[in-house]
Structure 1
């Protein structure tokens, strides 16, 4: 099965074969860049130059928003949620593009090409691609009886999408939603019993207030993070730890994992998720034959295309681009079962996942995205970087940042704005805090998970600065690299503002809320009809920030890090700035990989090369080498924070790294961080996260054997820290118990003091 597929795709695991690359790229350009086809740009889908900063990408929305106008629909047919005549023409033009693509490929006279060329770069499936394209074109044709017509009719059916009849309002404030508070109450009933089982303590001896609030999070890292995360979570579940968790959170591939776990495919069992992945990851998501088959055959065609059609036709102001196609292709691989028949439409909405958590049976998932806030360009003639004032440079550095957006089955929320909306209302336009219905009084359905899969994993929407950091290690040996590196490094601020690939567009619920939300909210967000959201790994590859939200009161944060750049990027340490800015107490400041740990191999080599002239000197060098190894992190590292804040910026970081064999005396401590990096392990030979070719973030093919290898590695690493993690959880439990008893004792003494004082008054 895999040998024939690899023959088509060639020996490299990171690149498509020439034929599929041409076809896939042509399909994308035909759908997402109409200027390249001899037709006019769709009036309902405004395509933009991809190489623009987010600020400029959102600028075109400003005029509409500034005028105070809400999104209008034109004349409606009475059934469709606000589709006007102009939008109908736009959809027809869009549909015709598929026909243009098929015709352009079909016009090639394959029979006239040499047989060897045809056999090598023009496989049979490419020759038959025009017919598949024409079939897909018929599916998305809005003619009566077409699939798109059926999907659009169902979009206005309140029995299928009950949320469309509801008016949504923006909740302003930083408090947790009533739904999440109710969930926490229900979940505590389960975690108390789970903790008793995990720590082997009679449940009757555990007071509800002593149960630690535990959050488990997974990193970004594509399919590597998805597979490794599933294995790590499965191990935590088997050990009894996962059932003690209140929250899970993810970035990129770990968001995909949460979607699978809370679906009819994963059935809330990570072993079943891994089994499902073995059936589905052996074929590249961009390989046209299986993708087109799923998009043109029932029942998967409606399942996969519903979100695409609802967004493309129902939100004419949104950009349609690579992220949307990417999400649809991801869904075709991840959300479709082995037999491709037993699909469940309930798997298509994040808000539907509340059916698994309302009773507290499972932890609440948190999905993450970021928006890149870029300062406005200098209005006058651009000033060369060497002539810019220090003030302007400082302003540029301090005003360009990523704001984090979280999604749970209950709410979509942004800390930077200090506001949120119900998850079921994501995808509809808002104005001045109220959702705007279509001409027929109905709103658009919630954005489908296939679209969100693309947003969660859209690492390719990185800035040019991120791209250069990715390729820099590869090109360091090229002649002239030094000069090029100096030039590009000096322009990093400029590279940091440019996104070559346009992020996804989602209607902005903060439109028109100027003066009513947090003062930290960037002003540009009040005038943009759409948000440009992307992979949260652009900011931090671990979803730490949402778990530090006030009200969630996390006691223990367990992080499984499958990042490709664990040591160099040091994602745990990146959180220090966030914690300092928000004056968060309890975070173990200064944690993460030791500074310079990425140069450990060089240090060891230098120690080896150094010649010892005496036995004492030799012993000293051995001790130095051991110090290098001891300072580095291992398979499991625990840090304990302080309950007090630093009083000054110059004060030394307060954190306590717990050695694996140490007893934990943390009676006055803060947050506990338990860190599991995906490192090579001698118990699983033949696999190395940094060196094994198939474990690249950009690899989208995993054989069952490779999945077994990654699963075994993650499992071996978890076992290394299993007992240390258990001791930490028990220590935090004992701390909470001790503090509660001390508080109760003090309250009892105060009660007796008041009673004694009251009795003493009778003797006066």
Structure 2
């Protein structure tokens, strides 16, 4: 067993597992290579093929072969004579030594030079490639074997380098000062003290931005002091949905539109679900908070035409400087801590993150940075601590079960438990006594935790072992890739989630939709989900809530008995991150919810908002007086399709809802579309729902029905990214921003009035 343990913890073993996984993905995700290559690459391949065919024809003819032999023989005879004359000259006169040396060098160079008829060489997709692809059609077995040996020899050196660097990381106090610190669980319903400071500084920065406020129609002259009061500034939160690369690129294009109007510079929080988390991570690392630079980065990545989990992606990362370190170091660290093992989703995390965050710029050195993969250090490096940038937040969920524990006064008593610890109930009682719930967790540069548990640990300590609120191990901060792996772990989601997503794209009433619905109901009823629903399991991390006894005096919850914590894609609960913007500790005034789901043109879109309101005990109602108006589009055309799109989706691009906290029995939590039920009091929050819908600027493109714009397509072309980005950006500029301006002014006036009323009451 010790030998097996050493093998499992070796970099070579991990790299081979990752390599094998990438090969399998390459096989299953394959499609015609011509469909994934740019036009320039195809032309280059055609030139190479033509040159190779001509060379082969010349070599196959007897005349060419004989001419080659005669020429080679004549060349050898000439060089022998030349060499003999040079040697004689040297023996006669030593002063010709320099000439002899240069001539001999020239002769050696000609002898070793191969006049290969294959004049072109294809570079690997990585800019830091080990070598060029040789002329494969003319290559012998010896050369091929030699090339494979050389490549794996370089990988062996890289693996030794990784092993050494991981050992150094555990002792590098300058880079990882948290190694000497002991972490504690913070049990509280309030926000982190650093986040409270951030909110204040962010509000002050926005209040001093006269240009932005003037754009929104809030002149500084409104205040007696000549400037806007920071307490009157509405706190904007931006949320992006899940949806694979469609969500990644669509959310980015929406951020581009907000950036052009300076709205992004006035945002307090930015969060995402699944694919939108990729956008946020890349925006704060490789793009330096520049959405335009990030779009170009994604187009450069798409030009490589490889799946992010394929062998091609693995080669791109491995051939970059220290790329193997970013692939394996997080896995080795996790293994050597010894609290949990690694699975498929851990390898998925390191490969997809390092591939997407690898800079394609030839001027970027390093192309992957260890400081960029330390999420907690982003608090200072990105300027968040000084209020210069919004606070990024990733979301994930933990599956829980609400299980009946007894009956009191005729009412059933329920208790929420970790799904992994809950015993399956009898089928006859399952529907009545048990319900699957999702507990929301978040990951920000300060903390990782859950407002529903009122428990938080420092981000630099997440991944360590904890017992009763105190860390029992000391290791460097967990890699950003591991956090992203849990936030984007859609492949580990339940099978019913995949079926539900597929059902949303199928016409209702068809034979296929009926069969899939019955299959979905059967899986849920028989509880196959937990046992056989999906062979891919979510990644495990040490549970920071493990221990015994009470957590604190103010929070009487007990520590948990489960040593492992399994967080997964929050899209399983709700495909929008609105939950974390409406907590007791963090309350946003305006939420921009960008939804790139595949079902935004169905009733499922409003159903998500209704479910969110019920889970957070909120009452929501449409704000018809703030609804979007017809956009003033500059390029007005007489296109019939464009006119139909404007008519069909009018009023749906930016839907405004008022939100109140339910404090009594007067209102039931949820979304109420009846305007007569709307309270007369000021809204406590405004939510602007922004679905990804077709736009008149590209009337022939529908993000839902397009063949390439699916949630499962992870190989896009640059021109396809442009098509999606143009539509999402136009929706934001034409509809979302004008609506946001009206909502912003309304919330500003309401907050200002409340502040002034508070001052008058105190006086």
Does 2:501 correspond to 1:466? no
Query: 1:304 touches 1:331 (CA, 8 Å); kept in 2?
Result: no
CA distance in 2, matches of 1:149, 1:551: 43
Aligned pair in 2 of structure 1 residues 554, 746: CA closer, same or farther (>3 Å)? same
Alpha-carbon distance between aligned partners in 2 of 1:682 and 1:137, rounded to the nearest angstrom: 51
Bigger mean CA deviation after superposition, 182-191 or 739-748:
739-748
1:697-730 alpha-carbon deviations (Å, 9 max, x no partner): 1111222212211121111111232222201111
The residue that corresponds to 1:726 in the other structure is: 741
Equivalent position SS for 1:157: coil
2:571 corresponding residue in structure 1: 537
Tell me the CA shift for residue 228 of structure 1: 1.2
- Contact 1:136–1:296 (Cα < 8 Å) also in 2: no
- Map of 1:306-385 to 2, 5 A cutoff? 306-311=329-334, 313-338=335-360, 339=362, 341-343=365-367, 344-355=369-380, 356=382, 357-374=384-401, 375=419, 383=426, 385=427
- The Cα shift of 1:138 comes to 2.2
Q: Quick check: 2:241–2:596 contact (8 Å CA) kept in 1? A: yes
* Residue equivalent to 1:492: 524
Match of 2:466 in 1: 430
Please tell me whether Structure 1 or Structure 2 has the larger radius of gyration of its CA atoms.
Answer: 2
Contact 2:283/2:291 (CA < 8 Å) preserved in 1? Answer: yes
Give the drift of 1:517.
6.5
Q: Which aligned pairs between 1:642-721 and structure 2 lie closer than 5 A? A: 642=660, 645=663, 647=665, 668-721=682-735
Aligned pair partner of 1:301 in 321, 324, 327? 324
Report the Cα offset of residue 641 of structure 1: 2.9
Structure 1 residue 92 displacement after superposition: 3.9
The residue that corresponds to 1:273 in the other structure is 294
Distance 1:318 1:452 in 2: 15
Distance 1:211 1:98 in 2: 54
1:196 maps to 213
For residues 426 and 177 of structure 1, the distance between their equivalents in structure 2, rounded to whole angstroms, comes to 16
- Answering whether residue 311 of structure 2 is matched by residue 288 of structure 1, we say yes
Partners in 2 of 1:710 and 1:480 — Cα distance? 29
SS class of match (2:592): strand
Q: Describe the SS at the equivalent of 1:707.
A: helix
Alpha-carbon distance in 1 for matches of 2:565, 2:553: 17
Aligned counterparts of 1:199 and 1:209: Cα–Cα separation in 2: 17
Pair 1:213 & 2:213 matched:
no
Query: Per-residue displacement from partner, 1:186-240 (whole Å, max 9, x unpaired)?
Result: 1111121345244243433422221111111111112111111111112112112
Q: Check 1:98–1:681 CA distance in 2 against 1; reply closer, same or farther (3 A cut).
A: same
**Cα contact 1:461–1:534 (8 A) shared by 2:** yes
Q: Is the Cα–Cα contact under 8 Å of residues 558 and 673 in structure 1 kept in the other structure?
A: yes
Q: 2:246 aligns with which of 204, 215, 224?
A: 224
Residue matched to 1:91 = 9
* TM-score (normalizing by structure 1): 0.69
Please give the root-mean-square deviation of Cα atoms over the aligned residues, in Å: 3.9
After TM superposition, give the deviation of residue 484 of structure 1 in Å.
6.9
Partner of 2:82: none
Could you tell me how far 1:303 is from its partner in structure 2? 3.6
Shift of 1:568: 4.3
The answer to whether the Cα contact below 8 Å between 1:689 and 1:695 also exists between their aligned partners in 2 is: yes
Cα offset for 1:543?
0.3
Instruction: Work out the CA distance in 2 between the residues paired with 1:502 and 1:94.
Output: 23
Structure 2: unaligned runs, 5 residues or longer: 24-48, 50-134, 221-225, 402-418, 625-643
Q: 1:450 to 1:482 in 2, by over 3 A?
A: closer
Q: From 421, 429, 433, give the equivalent of 2:457.
A: 421
Please name the residue that 2:750 is paired with: 735
Q: Distance in 1 between matches of 2:437 and 2:392?
A: 25
Residue 589 of structure 2 is aligned to residue 558 of structure 1: no
Q: Flag the 1:521–1:717 CA change in 2: closer, same or farther, 3 A.
A: farther
CA drift of 1:253 comes to: 1.5
Give the direction of change, closer, same or farther, for the CA distance of 1:244–1:146 in structure 2 (3 Å limit): closer
- Alpha-carbon contact 2:205-2:387 (below 8 Å) kept: yes
**Contact 1:368–1:406 (CA under 8 A) maintained in structure 2:** yes
Conserved? CA contact 1:463–1:500, under 8 Å: no
Residue 188 of structure 1 contacts residue 208 of structure 1 at CA under 8 Å; is this kept in 2?
yes
Q: What runs of 5+ residues in structure 1 fail to find an aligned partner?
A: 1-41, 44-84, 106-118, 438-442, 593-625, 659-663, 749-764
| Cα distance between partner residues in 1 of 2:193 and 2:567 | 26
Deviation at 1:288, TM superposition (A): 1.4
* Structure 1: distance between partners of 2:679 and 2:666: 26
Query: d(CA) in 1 for partners of 2:359 and 2:585?
Result: 38
Q: Are residues 1:238 and 2:260 paired?
A: yes
> CA 1:361 to 1:652, structure 2 compared with 1: closer, same or farther past 3 Å?
closer
Q: Secondary structure at the match of 2:165?
A: helix
**Partner Cα separation in structure 1 for residue 354 and residue 192 of structure 2:** 33
1:348 counterpart SS class: coil
The equivalent of 1:634 in structure 2 is 652
Distance 1:396 1:132 in 2: 58
C-alpha offsets along residues 571-593 of structure 1, whole Å, 9 cap, x if unaligned? 55435445445544xx415899x
Deviation at 1:669, TM superposition (A): 2.3
Range 417-426 or range 316-325, more displaced: 316-325
Aligned pairs for 1:473-512 (under 5 A) are: 482=514, 485-486=517-518, 488-493=520-525, 494-497=527-530, 498-512=533-547
